[in-house]
Structure 1
Amino acid sequence: MSAPQTPAAPAGTKGNNTVKIVAIILMALGAIFFVVGIGTYAMVSNTLADEQITVSDDADFLGGDDVDGPFSAYAQADIIAKHAEEIADGKTYAELAQDDERRPTVMNASFLRASLFTSVVAFGVAALVAGLGVLFALVGWAMLSLSKPATE
C-alpha cells in the first residue's frame, strides 16, 4: 500500500502567501524610501535657503535667484569658479605661489564650490531615493495584483 497523497493546491494559489508578503514589504519600503527622499530633499533645500546665498547676477543662468535647489547651487558654484579664475589669472589654488596674496581667496572659492557641489549631489541622491520608493511601491502593487487568483 502506498501512502495517502495530499491533494494539490488549486492552480494559481501555490506560493501566493510568499508573494503577498514580499509585495507588502516592497510597498512599505517604497513608502518609506519616498518619504525619506522627499524629507532629505526638503532638508537640504531649507538648509541652503537658511544661508541666504543669491546666485551672482553675472552667472550663466538663474542670476539673482536664491540658492535653495540643485540648479541654483550649481549655477552659483559655476560662477564662483569663473570669479576665482579671474582673480588668479587662470591659475588654480595649487598653481599659486604659497606667498601669493590671492591664495586664501581662491582657496575659499574652492571650498565654497565643493560645498555647493555636495548639496547638488545630496539633491540627486534624495531624488533617487524618492524615485526608488515609487518604483518599489509599483513593483509591490504589481506583485500583489498578480498574486490574486484569476476569476473565471
Structure 2
Amino acid sequence: MLKLIDVLARLIGEVDIMKIISEFKEFIMRGNVLDLAVGVIVGGAFTSLVKSLTVNLINPIIGLFTGQVSSLDNLKFVVSDQLTFNYGAFLGDVINFLIIAFVLFIIIKMINKVSIKKDKEEGSEITEISVLTDIRDMLAKQEANQK
C-alpha cells in the first residue's frame, strides 16, 4: 500500500496541477459541455413530467377500457400460482417512451426547419445553373490543359 502511495505521489509531483486545472476549466466552459448538461437536466425533468402524465391521466383512461384497474401496473397475466406476467408496468413504460420520442421528433423537426430556412436566407442554396456553370468551367479547364 505504501508503494502505491509513493508511486502516486511521484506522478502527482511530475504533473503541473495548475495546467490540469486550467485545461479542466476550459473544457467545462466550452459551450457544448454546458449545453449537454442543461439538456440532461431538462430531459430528466421532462421524463418525470411525462411519467406523471402517463400514471395520473393516461393509465386511468386505459383502465376504463380494461376493467376496474385504475393503474397499468396492476395488469397481469396469471399462468399459474408461480408464473405471473406483470405486463402493465411495461405498457406504461412503452407509453412514456412513445410520448418522449414523439416530442423529440417534433422538436428536431422544428429545429431542422429553422436551420434550413436560415440557410436559404443566407443564400447558400446551390442552384442547378451554378452547378452547370461549374461543370462547364471544369470541362473548359480540362480541354485547355490537354492542348
- Give TM-score, length-normalised by structure 1: 0.30
Q: Give the greater-gyration-radius structure (CA).
A: 2
Name whichever structure is richer in helix by fraction: 2
Higher relative contact order (CA 8 A, sep 6+): 1
